[in-house]
Amino acid sequence: MEDKLEENYREELEKLLLAKDYRTLRKKMEDMNVVDIAFAMDEMDDEDSLKLFRILPKDMAADVFAELELDDQQYIIASMSDTEASHIIDNLMADDATDLLEEMPANVVKKILAKASPETRADINHLLRYPEYSAGSIMTVEFIDLREMMTVEDAILKIKRRGLDSETVNICYVVDNQRVLKGTVALRYLLIREPDELIGDIMNTKVISINTHTDQEEAALTIQKYGFTAMPVVDNENRMVGIITVDDVVDILQEEATEDIEKMAAILPSDKPYYKMTTWETYKKRMPWLLFLMISATFTGAIITGYEDALASYVILTAYIPMLMDTGGNAGSQASVSVIRGLSLGEIEFSEIFKVIWKEIRVAVLCGVTLAGANFIKLLVIDKLALPVAFVICATLIVVVIFAKFIGCVLPLVAEKVGFDPAVMASPLITTIVDAVSLTVYFTIAVSVLHINV
């Protein structure tokens, strides 16, 4: 329903733009939410999107711009004069402006910042000092700071003066003269307190904060854990330097989840939407892993070649290779996805590796025995196989499921420990390893049970 409404908005704006009815178009956008306008612009071609942006009321332009996709922002900024671009940058929150300028060519950034206000330049340069993907790089420096000796009346006056330029006024932060974080005060408490009460007497001193160098995903999970709408960011001396708000958290978690899904599907991560990527860009993201997995999969061919005599003696064994490999890959994927999710949410740590292995082994034994039992009946009753051959297939199935779940839970934990992304150790890589092991186990058991000469 919501998607249909947004599509209707886009079609209506495009019709007005095509008819050059700019007065009605401007009036229409004045009554719309900035998010809906940004969605419509993202779906238009670049030239129409730019025209629409230029028609926007000036007081809405920066808010709409902040909601656009990054490549649309870059196109609009590149199409503007330096003065116009600087005006947009000045009206963005510092974290949004920094994210944009980080992706722009250096010569363009230099021109824009040259005409930006000194305060904007200072805020952006401040944020650019922090490592990429750290809490410091995504925080905003626009927040309300109070002093302990302020009265409630003074605090409310300050909020009125600076509220429009702040990311949020729902929570205010109490700092001392060295900007060391002392406490927080919610706006609703200020509204119900007496005007002459001191901030130091009513503030909450049990403050949870994030360090500037904390990884952005860890910061997002911390905010999610405590259910905060905003969280203060401090340096190593506990001096407050910014805040991260819940809208940042949503963006981070979406970005991290997308990145993990892409890695688990053997695709190099990209920050562009699907339809914004060219065919060549999509090819470059997918080809490296496909090439690696194809080469690694040749090991399974080498294993089959090494057991040609076994296959020649019992050709029927060939028919069950896909089932064994697929089951092993699926079992390994189940374990890896569960462990990767646990690592992402902070539910599992490397120190618990033996606890995880013990649980997965028990699950694997139950799954393996169940699958083998069901398969054994099917092999004897439907496929009419000899008992020894059915035994070889089912015994292999149990071993493969146990090994797959072991590998599926261990590899992500080891990857996390040595500093790799656990998502890289997901389905494609685990499946390749399990395939090779499945064939080796299969033919080893077959040779032993069926007394085949290799």
Per-residue pLDDT reduced to its tens digit, 209-231: 999 889 888 888 888 888 888 89
pLDDT of res. 184: 93
Looking only at the bridges linking them, the beta strands covering 181-186 and 171-175 are antiparallel
3-state SS class at 171? strand
3-state SS class at 384? coil
Mean pLDDT for all residues in the chain: 82
pLDDT in tens, 249-273: 877 777 766 666 666 555 555 556 6
Structural domains of the chain, with CATH: 2-134 (1.25.60.10), 145-245 (3.10.580.10), 274-450 (1.10.357.20)
Confidence band of 315 (pLDDT split at 50, 70, 90) = confident
CA distance 294 to 227: 45
Least confident of 95-104, 343-352, 371-380: 95-104
Confidence band of 2 (pLDDT split at 50, 70, 90) = very low
Percent of the chain with pLDDT over 70: 86
Q: DSSP for 429-453?
A: HHHHHHHHHHHHHHHHHHHHHHT--
Strand partners, 175: 181
pLDDT of res. 106: 66
Nearest to 379 by CA among 368, 369, 367, 387: 387
- Predicted model pTM: 0.54
Confidence band of 377 (pLDDT split at 50, 70, 90) = very high
- Joined together, the tokens standing for residue 160 give 């009125």
pLDDT in tens, 142-194: 889 999 999 999 999 999 888 877 878 889 999 998 889 999 999 988 999 99
- The number of residues making up the chain comes to 454
List alpha helices for 307-418, DSSP H. 308-313, 321-344, 353-381, 387-418
Higher pLDDT, 247 or 152: 152
CA distance 339 to 335: 6
Least confident of 100-109, 265-274, 318-327: 265-274
CA distance 24 to 223: 43
Confidence band of 120 (pLDDT split at 50, 70, 90) = confident
Higher pLDDT, 106 or 390: 390
CA distance 16 to 26: 10
pLDDT of res. 1: 44
List alpha helices for 231-320, DSSP H. 246-264, 279-306, 308-313
Q: How far apart are the first and last CA of the chain?
A: 64
Q: What angle do CA 286, 291, 295 make, to 5 degrees?
A: 155
Confidence band of 376 (pLDDT split at 50, 70, 90) = very high
Average pLDDT over residues 336-347: 80
pLDDT of res. 73: 82
